[in-house]
Amino acid sequence: MAVMEHYRTVRVLLGRLDHGADLLEEITGICRRENIRMGAVEAIGAVSRARLGFYNQDTREYEYFTLEEALEILSLAGNISMKDGEPMVHAHVVLADKNGKASGGHLAPGTTVFACECRIEVLEGRVLERKPDEKTGLPLWKMQP
pLDDT of residue 80: 98
| Angle formed at CA 50 by CA 45 and CA 54, multiple of 5 degrees | 115
Distance CA 17, CA 22 (A): 9
Tens-digit pLDDT profile for residues 47-92:
999 999 999 999 999 999 999 999 999 999 999 999 999 999 999 9
Distance CA 15, CA 23 (A): 13
**Contact criterion met (CB below 8 Å) for 66 and 95:** no
Confidence band of 1 (pLDDT split at 50, 70, 90): confident
**Contact criterion met (CB below 8 Å) for 30 and 13:** yes
Q: Which of 40, 58, 4, 48 is nearest to 23 (CA)?
A: 48
Residue ranges of alpha helices (H) inside the chain are 23-33
| Domains delineated in the chain | 8-133 (3.30.1330.80)
Distance CA 29, CA 50 (A): 19
**85 in the Ramachandran plot: left (φ > 0), alpha (ψ -120 to 50) or beta?**
left
pLDDT of residue 5: 93
